[in-house]
Chains A and B, each alone.
Chain A
């Protein structure tokens, strides 16, 4: 599989996150603070992004194959399960504590802030812990 198209995609994503204000944790927390001094900006970020994907995804997936790979690699799972909801609960709490989710945290690494480095190291540690924690619960 070719890899270079991912570079273009990454640049667009980095531009989108930073231009839109999504990489600013204060704006994210302001957006989530609906009972206080609510900052609605990020509605337009999510709205703009989802509008594009809602309209374009069906056109793309109607193709037999992507342009530069042999098949589409899309999630196959359809059913809801406890892992999906439990994971989203933990993620939502983590997101609300700092205002960082993975993309904004990674793109902010270049700002040179101690907090974004700490966040990213902790995030990868959390990802690495998922396997062992999952096995612990599966065996009990």
Chain B
């Protein structure tokens, strides 16, 4: 039970984070949009503060609460780079990622976010299936 209580608590914290940002500043807690806007957008201050807080939250988990840092991905760097390129291009084109469409958009009952979330979840599953089955889980 505890194994699911911790993920559930983490998820509730993500939801509360998004709701506080909406209530206080009227903004969507979409990480891809915040990350890109911190470099390219107007009103960069709140975005930078969000990102500083994001890293601070990670520090709290690993250095204060003492939960171990996850292991590094075993994928080769070329694959990591290809993955990053697709994630960056795709989230800008589709207007959001797991947080903006998945957490915030579904909460707003946005049809666009529902379609986006179902699409990227499905493609994630298919991609992992191909990597595992066809390529034998070699990477």
Interface residues of A (CB under 8 A from B): 1-27, 29, 32-36, 41-42, 44-54, 56-57, 60-61, 63, 65-69, 71-75, 77-80, 83-103, 105-111, 113-116, 118-130, 133-134
Given contacts A52-B15, A61-B108, A102-B87, whether A3 and B103 have CB atoms under 8 Å apart is no
Which residues of chain A have C-beta atoms less than 8 A from B43's C-beta? 1
Contact of A96 among B21, B32, B128 (CB under 8 A): B128
| A14 and B90 form a contact (CB under 8 A) | no
> What 3 pairs across the A-B complex have the smallest Cβ distances?
A14-B57, A10-B53, A20-B10
- List the B side residues contacting A44 at CB < 8 Å: 4, 7-8, 11
CB–CB A101/B97 < 8 A: yes
Q: Residue of B at shortest CB range from A40? A: B4
Q: Using CB atoms, name the residue of chain B closest to A124.
A: B88
Query: A17-B10, A19-B67 given as contacts; is B49 within 8 A of A7 (CB)?
Result: yes
Please pick, from A3, A72, A133, the residue contacting B89 in the complex, using a CB distance under 8 A: A133
Contact B50 A123 (CB under 8 A): no
For A79, the chain B residues whose CB sits under 8 A away are: 112
* A19-B67, A34-B129 given; 13 more Cβ-contact pairs under 8 Å: A9-B21, A10-B52, A17-B57, A21-B7, A26-B73, A48-B11, A49-B11, A50-B102, A50-B107, A52-B16, A60-B23, A69-B26, A134-B93
The main secondary structure of chain A at its interface with chain B is helix
Chain A residues with CB below 8 A from B120, complex form: 88-89, 91-92, 95
Q: CA of A115 to CA of B69 in the docked complex: distance in angstroms?
A: 14
Partner of A6, one of B53, B117, B123: B53
Q: Which of chain B's residues has its CB closest to A126's CB?
A: B88
Q: How far is the CA of A97 from the CA of B111 in the complex (A)?
A: 26
Contact B13 A12 (CB under 8 A): yes
Interface readout for B39-72 with A: 1 if CB under 8 Å, 0 if not? 1000101110111111111111110010101111
Give the distance in Å from the alpha carbon of A87 to the alpha carbon of B58 in the complex. 28
Q: Which of B12, B25, B26 touches A49 (beta carbons < 8 Å)? A: B12
Q: A15-B57, A95-B83 are in contact. Are A130 and B89 (CB under 8 A)?
A: yes
Q: A45 near B107 (CB under 8 angstroms)?
A: no
Contacts of B87 in A (CB 8 A): 90-91, 94-95, 100-102, 105, 119, 123, 126
User: Which has the most chain A C-beta neighbours within 10 Å: B36, B39, B99?
Assistant: B99
User: What B residues does A92 contact at CB under 8 A?
Assistant: 90, 119-124, 126-127
CB contacts (< 8 Å) of B94 on chain A: these are 83-88, 90-91
Known: A24-B70, A89-B120. A49 touches B57 (CB 8 A): no
